[in-house]
Amino acid sequence: MSLKIKAAAFLTVMSSWFGTSNAAATNKENTDSLLTQTGQTYKPVAGDTPKTADFVALQHSTAAPQSQDSIRSNIAINKEVCQDSLIMAQKQENLKNAQELMLYVIAHFEGMKSKAYYDKAAGIWTINLGNTVRPDGKKVRSSDRIHNGQEALDYVSAHVNKHMADNMIEYLPLHKMSKEEIAIIGSLCYNCGTGILRNKDKSPSRFAKTASEYFTTHGDSIAKEFDKAFLNYCKVKQKVNTVVQERRKNELTFLHGDVKITIDDNTNDGENVINLKKAVLGTLYGCKGNPKTIISRFSEESNFHCPTDSLQMAINKQLNASQRIRPAPVKKKTPIKRPAPQKRPAQRLAGGR
């Protein structure tokens, strides 16, 4: 029933109860109109007053009161919908807050290119961390450059939002995961693709189920199963790649908190805390997931120590290298082709001298 009909019925009843001057004149007209719109009929009973007739019409026009079970069911449904909305918002917020840390983790493993380069294997221009599309949605061009960390983060955020966010939010309990855990899982998905989280029928994959249980409970038994599943993603063309395998071991070291990672300059470095900004990109190669090796390489006494932001340092170095003036290639002179000398005939013609 529409709100207009309910309002008309309510005004009619109020006018008849409080004795409005025109109630008697409009009472029957309003009742007949209301019953006509609702498709109901009313047969007056002997002794009914106009007020009673309006009250009966209003009863016929309103919906029947809900039972207690129905009310409880509606409350439970609304509560569940509200809770799902809050969880979804929390997942999105946690993923957004972890993107900058994710950028530095991926950069340390994959390196970054501040100048666009042509990927011959894919046949497309590429920049940053293997990005082929700019934040504005256009393809990367040969003249594109990245000048600071914020631009690099914009590329990563655009890739995460377009290719990774939906699957990570759907198949992982991001609302229960820390910033470091999301950054490491994001590094894995960035490297292998989010297809590892789902089956062909879009149901959660075995790895997604194991990861969800681990990040929810953090139990010892499920941790071993999760590590085994995590290390399976180190193959290239069905063969174990030692570089990728080392990357997985380092990622697990960070994920389990054996070495805590941060990019906050205000965080004091502890015994097992490293700042990814304080070592040049590529420092993690050769560590093989060993916490002592990782911590020693990120110390100030290490040859890998970076006095400034490691990402910005890599960007500046590549931009300066790209601005060097290269000498123009020397054109080789093409040899002049001369006609081959004609051979004299072996025998003289008849009658000749």
Q: What is the pLDDT of residues 110-163, one digit of tens each?
A: 888 999 999 887 789 999 988 999 999 999 999 999 999 899 999 999 999 999
Predicted pLDDT at 29: 55
Annotated domain spans of the chain: 3-61, 82-321
Q: What angle do CA 148, 138, 123 make, to 5 degrees?
A: 95
With H, G, I as helix, E, B as strand and everything else as coil, classify residue 28: helix
Q: Which two tokens stand for residue 326?
A: 């290269």
- The candidate with the shortest Cα–Cα distance to 173, out of 160, 184, 164, 182, is 182
pLDDT given at position 346:
60
Distance CA 186, CA 222 (A): 20
Distances (CA, A) of 33 to 39, 42, 226, 281: 10, 12, 69, 79
pLDDT of residue 23: 43
Which of 309, 281, 317 shows the shortest CA–CA distance to 111?
Answer: 281
Which residues of the chain fall short of a pLDDT of 70? 1-66, 268-270, 322-333, 342-353
Ramachandran class of 20: left when φ > 0, alpha when ψ lies in -120 to 50, beta otherwise: beta
Rounded distance between C-alpha atoms, residue 353 and residue 348, angstroms? 8
Question: In which residue are the tokens 């941790």 written?
Answer: 223
According to the model, what pLDDT value does residue 233 have? 94
The predicted structure's pLDDT at residue 76: 74
Q: Which residue has the tokens 């709100």?
A: 3
Q: What pLDDT does 57 receive?
A: 53
pTM for the complete prediction? 0.69
Tens digit of pLDDT for each residue in 204-238? Answer: 999 999 999 999 999 999 999 999 999 999 988 88
Q: Which two tokens stand for residue 163?
A: 């290719």
pLDDT at 25: 45
What is the CATH number that goes with domain 82-321? 1.10.530.40
Which region, left, alpha or beta, applies to residue 145 given φ > 0 means left and ψ of -120 to 50 means alpha?
beta
